[in-house]
Amino acid sequence: MPERPFASGPGPANFSPLTPLRFLSRSAAIYTERTAIIHGPRRISYREFDTRSRRLVRRTVVFGPLPTTATGKIQKFELRQRARAL
């Protein structure tokens, strides 16, 4: 097999880890209209999935998590603990 003189393997200049968030935005950019989610008869493209996910994140950042979600319950518990410490 021929030697590749410039291939030094993954490094900071040519590699970054693919996190779940990067995966979604990358998939939305590359596979815009491909199906990302199938739920019964409903099919959601990567673009729609990315758009809806970003909307949910913005809503959560601006208004905080819903009190009935796990994140909301943890936040409520932490606030109670802080109030008791005062």
- DSSP structure class, residue 66: -
∠ CA 24-30-32, nearest 5°, is 80
Give the start-to-end residue ranges of the domains of the chain.
Answer: 20-85
Give the model confidence (pLDDT) of 3-56 as tens digits. 555 566 766 666 777 788 788 888 999 999 999 999 999 999 999 999 998 888
Burial class, 36, CB count within 10 angstroms (exposed 0-12 / middle 13-18 / buried 19+): middle
Give the model confidence (pLDDT) of 18-33 as tens digits. 788 788 888 999 999 9
